[in-house]
Amino acid sequence: MVRRDLTPRRNSLIMGSVARKSEGGDGHFDLQYKAGWAWLTVHRPGEHGRPVYYEDVRNRMKLLGVPNVSFDTVSEIIDEASGVPQPIVKWPDGERLASRISVQVSDDGIRAWALVTHPKKGAAPPSVEDVTGELTRQGITYGIEEQAIKRLLRDGRFDQWVEVACGLEPVHARSAEITYHFNPTRGKPYLELEFGRIDLKELNFIENKEAGDLLAELVEAVEPKDGRTVRNAVVPARTETQSVELRGGANTESNADGTAVYATAAGNVRLRDGAVVVEPVVTVDNVSYETGHIRHDGSVVVENHVADGFIVEATGDIQVGKGVGKATLKAGGNVLLKTGINGNGAGWIECDGNVFTRYVESSSVQCGGHLFVQEAIMHSRVAAWRHCVLNGRRSEIIASNMIVGGSLWCKQIGSVAEGSVYISIGIPPNVLSEFRATKSKLEDAQNRLEQVQQQLRPLENRLGEGGSGPSKLIQARDQLRNSAAELMPQVSQFRHDMNEIRKRLTTMPGSMLVAENSMYRGVVVAFGTKEYRVSENGVSGTVLRRPGIDIKEEGFNPADPPEIRFET
């Protein structure tokens, strides 16, 4: 190796990776930590450019705390100036500068996310191999999405959870599928409109058929296909031990081989518990003192009003053409209110299907499907097992308490003058209700136990170690001890129940909250046990998700809105 004259080097710059621009282009270097070593990369200068000198590299090593390296080792790399990184010395302390890679796997094992922290100055940026290596160390070997990892590193998406692996969902077998000759998803315009406005006046749940009409028939089977987790474990596909059964219910008949169902009477055709039925339809002008309560095995159409204090119960759907007040509606299917409900604190809607309404005010709503509201939810308690969408002109939520098992979409949440709003996203209402009830029981049992213990301590102090004293005091002490002995296992059991339920407080994948315009102070949004509280100044155009451990907030872009997926 040829030693170079050191005299010019004494006049070099002291700090930094030399990269000054000149006619020929100056030489420059990179000194970075990677994989336990310090790596030096030297780039040759142009024809008239300034070269890299030993002192440049040495000063950078001192600044970063790199262990000493011989002059010959550094000079040789400078002389070669190959532009290729060269390891020069082990540097364990450089680990503090490197990126950290964290990995999280979904509960079903089908998806994995990675969070890569931003490397500090002096550390090489992580490579695709670094991320895939950490995935492999975590046992993730299947479905690794290298393009997603490359985009993560290329776009600098540090300090955020990014999906980096996706397994294979199992395809469950069906011995046969059923083709329906009626619309089994009518009343579900959201399947086609993609958040276009729903015209409640045009929406109708009733589809009449005549006797002899073909209602449904069987088609070919679907073969099973196993899925696979990101840890390369097989997710067995369910296999059918019996053929799919095409069942006909009331007012229908099947052909000889059971592959088709026909109507035997005129009426509204729909699915009820998986069976095709033709049900009679009750149609009335109003529900009032003239009709009394209506309880019907079928569907009910009220062309005008439901008066205060009256009940409408139907195993099928309920449609109401005009206003609903302090009334109770219970349906085995869907509920359609072509205006809305103002219950003055006593209105109640409960159904297994979806609810469509223009507004909900001072009422309680529980629906096993989706809740679609055109204009507003105000001063109400709402529990929807799936999605809740407000997509009218106002689309606002005011002073209400909501549990939404899927996603929520609206324009505005809260207001300057009205009360607070609490919204739980992505947790089924029954799980959250069970958690809250158990928590209340635990707090009550703990309070009673503390009261018993507070009353017991002075009695035990008065009776002393021997426990002798007036019989009344002894009797009182024994009663309190018995009460404490009964309460302690209750407290322990409630704590155990709380921990078990908390494991089920897992946010549904893909669930989110979209507020197109604004959210005001006093609004709290919960994803499981994580809460997002709107600041005093409020927020504008917001999308909230919980893709990993924490709640992620991003702006709403009307040109590229997020997507809520509905089942078909």
> In sequence order, which residues have a C-beta less than 8 Å from that of residue 506 and are 6 or more positions away?
107, 427, 528
Pairing of strands 371-378, 281-284: unpaired
pLDDT at 539: 94
Are 109 and 235 in contact, with CB atoms under 8 Å apart? yes
- Report helix, strand or coil for 129: helix
Please state, as a whole number, how many other Cβ atoms lie within 10 Å of the Cβ of residue 554.
12
Pairing of strands 275-279, 267-272: antiparallel
- Report helix, strand or coil for 318: strand
What average pLDDT does this structure show over 5-34? 51
Name residue 89's beta-bridge partners.
38
Amino acid at 447: N
pLDDT tens readout for residues 394-435: 999 999 999 999 999 999 999 988 789 999 998 888 787 788
pLDDT at 11: 31
Q: What percent of the chain has pLDDT over 70?
A: 91
Give pairs for 557-565: CB < 8 Å, separation 24+. Answer: 558/516, 561/195, 561/514, 562/512, 562/514, 564/195, 564/387, 564/389, 564/406, 564/407, 564/409, 564/512, 564/514, 565/510
Please state, as a whole number, how many other Cβ atoms lie within 10 Å of the Cβ of residue 34.
20
CA atoms within 13 Å, Cβ hemisphere of 144: 20
Tokens standing for 459? 């009695």
Residue 342 has pLDDT above 90, yes or no: yes
pLDDT at 195: 54
Q: Which residue has the higher pLDDT, 187 or 32?
A: 32
DSSP string for 144-191: B-HHHHHHHHHTT-TTSEEEEEE-B--B--BS-EEEESS-TTTT-THH
Q: What percent of the chain has pLDDT over 90?
A: 41
Q: How far apart are CA 257 and CA 243, in angstroms?
A: 13
Are 216 and 274 in contact, with CB atoms under 8 Å apart? no
Strand order in the sheet with 252-254: 177-180, 214-219, 260-263, 252-254
pTM listed for this prediction: 0.53
Tokens standing for 108? 């079903």
pLDDT tens readout for residues 424-466: 998 888 787 788 788 888 889 899 999 988 888 888 787 776 6
pLDDT tens readout for residues 98-153: 778 899 999 999 999 999 988 888 777 888 988 998 999 999 999 999 999 999 88
Q: Which of 177-186, 335-344, 540-549 has the lowest mean pLDDT?
A: 177-186
Q: How far apart are CA 364 and CA 371, in angstroms?
A: 12
Place of tokens 């296999």: 239
CA 554 to chain centre: 15
Residue 22 has pLDDT above 60, yes or no: no
Burial (CB count <10 Å: 0-12, 13-18, 19+), residue 441: middle
Q: How far apart are CA 444 and CA 406, in angstroms?
A: 31
pLDDT tens readout for residues 480-508: 889 888 989 888 888 888 788 777 777 77
Going from the C-alpha of 336 to that of each of 234, 285, 317, 348, 398, the distances in angstroms are 44, 16, 8, 14, 22
Are 180 and 260 in contact, with CB atoms under 8 Å apart? no
DSSP string for 82-122: BSS-EEEEE-GGGGGGS--EEEEE-TTSSEEEEEEPPPPTT
Q: How far apart are CA 127 and CA 120, in angstroms?
A: 15
Tokens standing for 203? 């929406």
Q: How far apart are CA 465 and CA 257, in angstroms?
A: 85
Residue 79 has pLDDT above 90, yes or no: no
N residues, the chain: 568
Q: How far apart are CA 21 and CA 37, in angstroms?
A: 30
Q: Which residue has the higher pLDDT, 82 or 466?
A: 82
Phi, psi of 237 (to 5 degrees): -80, 145
Residue 23 has pLDDT above 50, yes or no: no
Q: Which residue has the higher pLDDT, 242 or 201?
A: 242
Burial (CB count <10 Å: 0-12, 13-18, 19+), residue 267: buried
pLDDT at 362: 96
Amino acid at 563: E
